[in-house]
Chain A
Amino acid sequence: MIAGSNLEKVINSGKFVVSGELGPPKGSDITQLKHHAEEMKDHVDAYNITDNQTAIVRTSSIACGSTLVQMGLEPIIQITVRDRNRICIQSDVLGAQALGIKNILCLSGDHQNFGNEPASKGVYDIDSMQLLKGLKDMRDENCFIGGDELESPSSYYLGAVANPFADPFEYRVDRLEKKIKAGASFIQTQCIFDIERFEKWMEMVRARGLHKKVAIMGGVTPIKSLGAARYMKNNVSGITIPDSLIERIKGAEKKKVEGLNVCVETIQRLQEIEGVAGVHIMAIAWEEVVPEIVERAGLYPRPKL
């Protein structure tokens, strides 16, 4: 056991792990976020809290994470390298621990160009790989990136993201391996709509035995409407949606129902793929469907460990 978080315990138990996602609001009133957290609390093992997702200014992920901790729930705070340099990131990670946060997900973050402050200066002092390695060393070697020693030990469970749909495809498994080496204990993937490509990637992952070294959680997002699908296909970086899926939604009488069906089917298929340890459900702006998805996918009740 590294940090003793619920996420880590479920992963170690070998049960199919489920995480949800909460997006902080563009204002300091987080009532809604707390409400969504309550709504799915029996259906997920932990919640990702996004860090100024798509480079849009929002309440900080650590502040929301701390609120979840106070509610007795388990956050996975996201940390991107876009907005903070190594001084600030390391300081925030110490602060997050002081607030009882035990899971950290490291990522680069969408470029500031995408958000509501496109004139801002992107930081990118370190990259996501260096972030992982830096946080691993803070925990395991008790030293900061610059080499100075910490005054008290650190403890957190570290994760990273992987995008099997990005290019060059053959590099994507190399990159996963590198992230494991850098310190990732769990991996959440980009939303899976092209399950064939995901399966191909998993085959390559298994061929190198990487699924035994890291817990891979497949990312899913329920499609709410045809417009949402098209929007993601064209505007969200790193997502690919096959035309056949767009057609399926288009042809369906009840788009929302079909979107949920696709999501549930994807999770069921993920459970059958060797080496997939769990699912990460990203239902931003449609949080209320998470319990239904989890139940229909046969993942309810969640283990109490």
Chain B
Amino acid sequence: MIIAERKPLEEIAAMAAPYERICVLGCNTCVGVCMAGGEKEAEETAALLRIHRKRENQGGVVEVFSLERQCEYEFIDQVLEKLKNYDQIVSLACGVGVQTMIEHVPSLRVVPGLNTTSMGYPTEQGVWAERCVGCGNCVLHLTMGVCPITRCCKSILNGPCGGSAEGKCEISDDIDCAWHLIHERLSAFGRISDLEEIQPPKDWSSSHHGGPRTSVREDVRIDSGE
């Protein structure tokens, strides 16, 4: 899922400062699950923002509600009329949600209340770890299910590098060396000789480096010409 963290309150308050009618809009899917921007966090953010504005002698109202998903038009449509009542919407969705909203309703003023960090999963209660950077050309079959593009700090395809020590990456003892994990799993599965092959340079054109990506499935498109 998509993982995000709330921006510091001061930053959100500064974005909202010039406006009177503010809406803090939660999103209950990914960022709800990672406890950054769901209904509960939206309520909390709105409450903090009210206190902050009061202290700063700023008037206006801060209201709050949540959508199932801010990244799909049909969910936005359910509350569209309500949204039009605000001068500014502080979206607690990921960056996709913020952009879906303004693309669907260009007249809305939407600012991000979260920093979207990554795609990953909760490794334990309260800890979310990045596992995919969406490079557009999955290599997990070569690396026993451990992504070197995401988890190796240098995204190398022929690892581990000379900085790997005691299973940890050279940049921090808090980061597992992805290639150490890959080496371990290849050994366990009797596939260590896989590492003999020199993996060629990656074609990054399928990743963001090739420009923004759009996936098209002709078979499921609805022909708007009909």
Q: Which residues of A line the B interface, CB within 8 A?
A: 81-82, 86, 108, 110-111, 113-114, 122, 124-130, 133-134, 145, 161-163, 166-168, 171, 174-175, 177-178, 181-182, 190, 237-238, 240
Contact = CB atoms under 8 A, between A and B. Distances in A.
B139 interface: no
B163 A166 contact: yes
B183 A127 contact: no
Nearest 10 interchain pairs by C-beta: A163-B162, A127-B156, A129-B158, A237-B170, A237-B163, A126-B201, A124-B154, A130-B201, A111-B171, A166-B162
A240 B163 CA distance: 11
Nearest to B197: A178
A167 B171 contact: no
Interface in B127-177: 153-167, 170-172, 177
B47 to A, nearest CB: 34
Contact of B198 (A108, A122, A168, A182): A182
Contacts of B164: 166-168
B199 interface: yes
Contacts of B155: 124, 127
Given A178-B158, A238-B170, A86 B180 contact: no
Contacts of A181: 196, 198
Contacts of B161: 108, 127-128, 166
A81 B163 CA distance: 14
Contacts of A82: 154
Contacts of A166: 160-165
Contacts of B184: 168
Contacts of A162: 162
A102 to B, nearest CB: 24
Contacts of A178: 158, 195-196, 198
B157 A130 contact: yes
Contacts of A190: 162
A109 B181 CA distance: 21
B201 A145 contact: yes
Contacts of B195: 171, 174, 178
A296 B24 CA distance: 74
Given A168-B180, A238-B170, A133 B165 contact: no
B197 to A, nearest CB: 9
Given A127-B158, A168-B184, 11 more contacts: A110-B170, A113-B171, A113-B172, A122-B154, A124-B155, A124-B156, A166-B161, A174-B192, A177-B196, A178-B195, A238-B162
Given A113-B171, A237-B170, A167 B165 contact: yes
Given A171-B183, A182-B198, A127 B157 contact: yes
B18 interface: no
A111 B199 contact: no
A207 B167 CA distance: 26
A228 B9 CA distance: 43
B200 interface: yes
B204 interface: yes
